[in-house]
């Protein structure tokens, strides 16, 4: 019998890359920190500045208009319950973290999806990267985020946007590729160039699928933001983590309930936006 010692030090190689990036790209990471922090502070200011009742009225109006009366009533009752549990600030902070991460994820993800839809070579390159991003355990994203950006809200946003980006890329790519060829041929017959084809034909037709990707991005961002509380991101993940560490069942349950209310609100509204876009696309065609 042969005793073969087969050891591939992948972890050591990854650690070397992380250390090299940290040592040589520190100004770049500082710039990202400033930009992300500025966007996050802006969202937090907008969400926390109005009185709670005014903010509930705004959120309920949005839900009522797009998703219907039932979701509007649920929004009023749900956010009043969050107020009653004294978790309003944590909820708004969580929304700010989600909006910041999703905004950056969409700014990167949607153009990448458009590029992949136009080039098979890009799609073949992007697909394994997205597979890797989606199958990597969520907690693993916290390690490089902390090493590059220390502790706090910024690394939480960075880990969240990376974790939540794949659906935006995939469904943008899928939506544009699924545009019927007859529509493209009609646009070409009317003299559309590539830019007009994209902005006036393909994106409007693909918008319901793209918005489905936005919905999935938001849901993944919400799940990751809770985990990011482990590195000091705050928000609703903090009472859940505290309840777990201190075996405080009540605090953990209240934090979990607030997360459920926020998740239902965001899910129903973004789903309704996709259906609204689809009806608008069908009526225009």
Q: Are 170 and 108 in contact (CB under 8 A)?
A: no
Q: Would 113 be classed as within a structural domain? A: yes
Average pLDDT over residues 179-190: 81
Q: What angle do CA 270, 45, 32 make, to 5 degrees?
A: 80
Residue 249 pLDDT grade (very low, low, confident, very high; cuts 50, 70, 90):
confident
Look over the chain and give the mean of its residue pLDDT values, rounded to a whole number: 84
Q: Could you list the residue range(s) of the whole structural domain that residue 61 is in? A: 11-284
As a whole-number percent, the residues of the chain with pLDDT over 90 amount to 15
How many Cα neighbours within 13 Å face the side chain of 94? 33
Please tell me the distance from the alpha carbon of residue 129 to that of residue 198, in angstroms, as a whole number. 25
The number of helices, as runs of H, and strands, as runs of E, in the chain is 14, 0
The structure tokens listed for 253 are 């349950």
Nearest to 180 by CA among 212, 206, 207, 211: 206
Say what the alpha-carbon torsion angle 145, 150, 151, 155 is, to the nearest 10 degrees.
-30
Q: Would 3 be classed as within a structural domain? A: no
Nearest to 143 by CA among 161, 165, 158, 129: 158
Please tell me the distance from the alpha carbon of residue 208 to that of residue 275, in angstroms, as a whole number. 7
pLDDT of 170 higher than 70: yes
pLDDT computed for residue 17 by the predictor: 80
Q: Would 2 be classed as within a structural domain? A: no
pLDDT of 281 higher than 80: no
Q: Would 204 be classed as within a structural domain? A: yes
- DSSP, collapsed to helix, strand or coil, labels residue 254 as helix
Q: Which residue has the higher pLDDT, 252 or 40?
A: 40
Q: Would 128 be classed as within a structural domain? A: yes
CATH code of the domain in which 54 resides: 1.10.3720.10
Residue 240 pLDDT grade (very low, low, confident, very high; cuts 50, 70, 90):
confident
Average pLDDT over residues 140-156: 82
In sign, the C-alpha dihedral spanning 143, 146, 151, 157 is: negative
How many domains does the chain fold into?
1
Please tell me the distance from the alpha carbon of residue 199 to that of residue 255, in angstroms, as a whole number. 42
Q: Which residue has the higher pLDDT, 12 or 239?
A: 239
Q: Would 257 be classed as within a structural domain? A: yes
pLDDT of 208 higher than 80: yes
Q: Would 6 be classed as within a structural domain? A: no
pLDDT tens figures, 94-118: 999 999 999 999 999 999 988 888 8
pLDDT tens figures, 43-73: 989 988 888 899 999 999 998 988 888 889 9
Average pLDDT over residues 81-88: 89
Q: Are 177 and 205 in contact (CB under 8 A)?
A: no
pLDDT tens figures, 4-22: 555 666 777 777 787 787 7
Please tell me the distance from the alpha carbon of residue 194 to that of residue 202, in angstroms, as a whole number. 10
Q: Would 5 be classed as within a structural domain? A: no
pLDDT computed for residue 4 by the predictor: 56
């Amino acid at each position: 019998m042969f005793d073969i010692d087969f050891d591939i030090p992948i972890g050591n190689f990854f650690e070397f890359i992380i250390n090299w990036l940290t040592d040589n790209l520190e100004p770049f990471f500082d710039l990202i920190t400033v930009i992300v922090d500025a966007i996050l502070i802006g969202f937090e200011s907008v969400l926390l500045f109005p009185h709670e009742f005014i903010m509930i009225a705004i959120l309920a109006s949005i839900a009522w208009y797009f998703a219907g009366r039932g979701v509007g009533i649920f929004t009023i009752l749900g956010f009043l319950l969050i107020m009653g549990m004294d978790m309003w600030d944590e909820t708004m902070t969580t929304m700010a973290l989600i909006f910041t991460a999703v905004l950056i994820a969409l700014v990167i993800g949607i153009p990448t999806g458009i590029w992949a839809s136009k080039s098979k070579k890009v799609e073949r390159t992007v697909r394994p990267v997205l597979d890797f991003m989606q199958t990597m355990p969520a907690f693993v994203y916290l390690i490089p985020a902390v090493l590059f950006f220390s502790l706090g809200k910024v690394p939480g946003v960075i880990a969240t946007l990376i974790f939540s980006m794949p659906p935006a890329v995939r469904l943008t790519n899928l939506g544009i590729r699924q545009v019927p060829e007859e529509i493209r041929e009609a646009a070409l017959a009317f003299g559309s160039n590539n830019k007009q084809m994209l902005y006036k034909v393909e994106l409007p037709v693909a918008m319901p699928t793209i918005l489905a990707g936005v919905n999935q991005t938001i849901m993944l961002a919400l799940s990751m933001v809770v985990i990011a509380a482990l590195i000091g991101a705050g928000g609703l993940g903090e009472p859940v983590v505290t309840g777990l560490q201190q075996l405080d069942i009540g605090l953990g349950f209240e934090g979990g309930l607030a997360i459920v209310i926020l998740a239902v609100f965001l899910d129903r509204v973004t789903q309704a936006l996709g259906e609204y876009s689809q009806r608008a696309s069908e009526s225009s065609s």
